[in-house]
Chains A and B, each alone.
Chain A
Amino acid sequence: MTKPSEAVARQACQDVNLDPTRLLDVLHIVQKECRCVDDSAIDAIAAEMGIPRVRVDGAVTFYTFFTKEPVGQITIRLSSDIIDRLQGAQEVADALTDELGIDFGQITADGLFSLHWTSCIGMSDQAPAALVGDTMVTHLTAETARLMVRSLREHKHPPKLVQELGDGKNAHPLVHTMVKNNIRQPGSIIFGPINRGEAIRKALGMTPVEVIRAMKTSRLRGRGGAGFPAGLKWEFTRAATGDRKYIICNADEGEPGTFKDRVLLTELPDRIFAGMTIAGYAIGAQEGIVYLRGEYAYLKPYLEEVLAQRRVEGWLGQDIAGKQGYHFDIRIQLGAGAYICGEETSLISSLEGTRGDPKNRPPFPAQHGYLGYPTVVNNCETLCCVTKILENGAATFSEFGTEQSSGTKLLSISGDCTAPGIYEVEFGVSLQKVLEMAGATQVQAVQVGGPSGQLIGPDQFDRVLCFDDLATGGSIMIFDQSRKILDIVHAFMEFFVEESCGYCTPCRVGNVLLKEGLQRVLDGRGEPADLEQFEQVGAMMKACSRCGLGQTSWRPVVTSLQSFRDQYESRVADDPDGFRRSFDLKKAVATAEKITGRKSVHA
């Protein structure tokens, strides 16, 4: 049986020296050992740390991976992402519910299993996939799902599900996963030759200002999606006053259909850490933090090992690479299932041990970031570019790509194509070319940049991938002609409803209303006025939402309405009698008919 949660909670608090900013670590321990963070654990944590219990409660109920009710000894979290669904997640789900005898959200009577849907787990190129405990299980079918449950019943140990190991470092004993890298097209920057240590040596041979100048010369822009110039971000942070400064690596890729950071973390963690070390030197930080999404917990032991090795080799710690006075180290903070935490200010809130709510801007993190100190948040891929820029020189880097978008971009390609996986392409490549590379034919639509990007049709496939045209954090989801556009859009809206933090009105309510409106259209109960309202709500959310989530989450609806208007218009109509098509009398009287055993005289 599980241990008393109070004792576990108290010990966990001691383990982090009663530091409230490490609340997530405490909650992870309690959740793991007690299968929940119940009220007595919350009481104990609050008492031990000397913080209000409602603050602890607020954090527990914010993150998907923490629960107040017990979950199973083995949690099975099936990815609900649209790509997983189109590749058979529902059949897998049906097999699981049948095999386990429980529904999603339930726990088996013996407490061994609980079953959950979860947002995209970063395995779209090997979907359908599930997170079983911390173990990734990919390419599921109804049959393998049943076998999985049966073998788990016997050995109760998810890591034992891994029989065939993935390629590269996926096979490393500390990673030990069936996940595959699927690197289909390595480019010359990210996946170019490695000259270990060269970048840091070069950086430390320059002044911090020179390093920042090199970043600006390279015209490197953030790879997370927003595309803010990296050099400028560093310059602001360097210039800001603060006793301490921080460099944070955003390894919380949660945009459905994105999995490139997972591959970078698996194959090139040294480049990410080197990039952080260089950034730290440039901005004057002595501490770096990697915010690793909870779904990638299976990579943590390996990443810790890489960090340990770097300390041994002198790339982290005191007087780095022999440079007197430059001390820098990195720690890893594990997230807990919240897409919003990929937004940099939410990520900072989460790192501070609170709910992952976005913060008001201004002040920007460069002035007032982690714990109030000037902070740079860079994406994994951006940091890899940093290392490469120092290694080969800014000019070499900026030879690739376009004027406004220098370098290469990693794409995570998934969906209807013969070769889903990772592609390193030069900025400026046309979408058409990308589709050819991935072996996509009969393409009806492509979602560029994940749900918060845009859904475009073949008439726009000649557009090019760069910050000025088709901007993308890397997610490219391909849908062939057999797919139903509105179902895809509906799945995206379900995702945003699930992942909105609920802080601001436009996003908290707007996503729900868009999702419901879309459902009306799908049910054949929409009216032309609904389409007009979608556009109005979208315009409002774009202008009024507090952070990037709500400012873009309307886009699946509105961009598909632009690209595939006929699919909407063929489903909506005005009722000739002035009745509301959304009102379904049959449905509305169904319960009463059941209770009374009478039939409605009007329906």
Chain B
Amino acid sequence: MSQTITLKIDGVEIKAQPGQKVIEAADAAGVYIPRLCHKPGLEPFGSCRLCTVLANGRPCSACTTPVVEGMVVENETESLQNFRKQIIEMLFVEGNHFCMFCEKSGNCELQAVAYRFGITAPTFPYQWPHREVDASHPDILIDHNRCILCGRCVRTSRDLDGKHVFDFVGRGCEKKIGVNADSRLADTNADISDQALDACPVGALLRKQTAYQTPIGQRLYDLEPIGSEIESTGNTN
């Protein structure tokens, strides 16, 4: 039997397994730490920074920081919530997110965290960047307007699909998802059955002709905030 680790999140003691990241331990214990780039089963990435917590007083991303015995984690503090709100707003104004017609609306994790934080409009000015849409592939669409650069497609394609269809190109605010071909997704070996397509938290990577099938009211985040699933199923052993 492996030794368990005890740590505290917002004053509540939880048990964790050695090697777990803080976010994994929190999930298992029914404590939701907001996140976008983290996805169970993928290599920790730490790009969105939404899961920033204080671990023993120092800020760090919960998705990349391993648990340590006696660790004291602060999660829902006023300042951290304020930081997270800023990050969510930044992701909204940085891209072009047209929720009103987006195929992913209702099932979109970016939108869902914004709902959870009660954001009604961003306080930062919109950037309206000029970004491309790649509809070359018969079954798959990439809309860079909606991409939040979380790298979930990159990691899934590389590590689970074994394909490396996607990776990052460019730097800074020019950074974007590139495909493993001269320019078009159609020229890669991307396939409709790729798990990478399910990894996208937003509407940047979509299977064509599958949209709007779930009625409003029955989509993932229509009735309950994102994170409820963790908060309701976790056990604090």
A546 B49 Cβ-Cβ under 8 A: yes
Q: A504-B47, A543-B83 are in contact. Are A360 and B64 (CB under 8 A)?
A: yes
Residues of A within 8 A of B125 (CB): 513, 516, 582
Q: Binary interface profile of B, 46-68, with partner A (CB < 8 Å = 1, else 0)?
A: 11111010000001010011100
- Choose the segment among B1-9, B169-177, B222-230 that binds chain A (4+ C-beta atoms closer than 8 Å): B169-177
Residues of A within 8 A of B148 (CB): 505
Residues of A within 8 A of B168 (CB): 58, 355, 502
A61 to B176 CA separation, bound complex (whole angstroms): 10
Number of interface residues of B (CB under 8 A): 46
Q: A61-B170, A544-B49 are in contact. Are A536 and B180 (CB under 8 A)?
A: no
A502 B59 Cβ-Cβ under 8 A: no
A516 to B164 CA separation, bound complex (whole angstroms): 36
The one of A513, A540, A545 that contacts B82, using a Cβ cutoff of 8 Å = A540
Residues of A within 8 A of B164 (CB): 52, 54-55
B82 A536 Cβ-Cβ under 8 A: yes
Q: Which residue of A is nearest B170, CB measured?
A: A61
B172 A546 Cβ-Cβ under 8 A: no
A497 B173 Cβ-Cβ under 8 A: yes
- Tally of A-B residue pairs with Cβ under 8 A? 126
Residue A338 at the chain B interface, CB threshold 8 Å: yes
Distance in angstroms from B199 CB to nearest chain A CB is 16
Distance in angstroms from A331 CB to nearest chain B CB is 26
A388 to B50 CA separation, bound complex (whole angstroms): 45
Q: Which residue of A is nearest B179, CB measured?
A: A54
The one of B44, B79, B94, B124 that contacts A539, using a Cβ cutoff of 8 Å = B79
- Choose the segment among B12-20, B85-93, B131-139, B210-218 that binds chain A (4+ C-beta atoms closer than 8 Å): B85-93
B167 A55 Cβ-Cβ under 8 A: yes
Distance in angstroms from A340 CB to nearest chain B CB is 8
A53 B91 Cβ-Cβ under 8 A: no
Q: Binary interface profile of A, 471-500, with partner B (CB < 8 Å = 1, else 0)?
A: 000000000000000000000000001111
Residues of A within 8 A of B52 (CB): 543-544
Q: Binary interface profile of A, 516-549, with partner B (CB < 8 Å = 1, else 0)?
A: 1000000000000000010011011001111000
Residues of B within 8 A of A355 (CB): 168, 171
The one of A53, A497, A543 that contacts B181, using a Cβ cutoff of 8 Å = A53
A497 B172 Cβ-Cβ under 8 A: yes
Residue B178 at the chain A interface, CB threshold 8 Å: yes
A537 B178 Cβ-Cβ under 8 A: no
Residues of B within 8 A of A513 (CB): 90, 93, 124-125
Residue B166 at the chain A interface, CB threshold 8 Å: yes
Residue B209 at the chain A interface, CB threshold 8 Å: no
B180 A52 Cβ-Cβ under 8 A: yes
A554 to B168 CA separation, bound complex (whole angstroms): 25
Contacts of A55-73 to chain B: CB distance below 8 A: 55, 57-58, 61-62
Distance in angstroms from B127 CB to nearest chain A CB is 7
Residue A506 at the chain B interface, CB threshold 8 Å: yes
Q: Name the prevailing secondary structure of the A interface residues.
A: helix
Distance in angstroms from A63 CB to nearest chain B CB is 8
Distance in angstroms from B56 CB to nearest chain A CB is 13
A57 to B154 CA separation, bound complex (whole angstroms): 14
A545 B173 Cβ-Cβ under 8 A: no
Q: Which residue of B is nearest A498, CB measured?
A: B172
Q: Which residue of B is nearest A543, CB measured?
A: B59
Distance in angstroms from A281 CB to nearest chain B CB is 32
Residues of B within 8 A of A555 (CB): none
B94 A508 Cβ-Cβ under 8 A: yes
Q: Which residue of A is nearest B163, CB measured?
A: A52
Residues of B within 8 A of A545 (CB): 49
Residue B28 at the chain A interface, CB threshold 8 Å: no
A54 B182 Cβ-Cβ under 8 A: no
User: Which of B80, B172, B178: most chain A Cβ within 10 A?
Assistant: B172
Residues of A within 8 A of B172 (CB): 497-502, 508
Residue A453 at the chain B interface, CB threshold 8 Å: no
Residues of A within 8 A of B44 (CB): 360
- Tell me the B residues contacting A by CB distance below 8 Å: 44-50, 52, 59, 61, 64-66, 79-80, 82-83, 86-87, 90-91, 93-94, 123-125, 127, 148-149, 164-175, 178-182
- Tell me the A residues contacting B by CB distance below 8 Å: 39, 43, 52-55, 57-58, 61-62, 338, 355, 360, 362, 497-506, 508-510, 512-513, 516, 533, 536-537, 539-540, 543-546, 582
Beyond the given pairs A509-B94, A540-B83, 11 more chain A to chain B contacts, judged by CB atoms under 8 angstroms and listed by A's residue number, are A52-B180, A54-B167, A54-B178, A61-B171, A338-B171, A502-B168, A508-B172, A509-B90, A510-B90, A513-B125, A545-B49
Give 16 CB contacts A-B under 8 Å. Answer: A39-B182, A58-B167, A355-B171, A501-B171, A502-B175, A504-B49, A505-B90, A505-B91, A505-B94, A512-B127, A512-B173, A513-B90, A513-B124, A543-B59, A543-B83, A545-B49
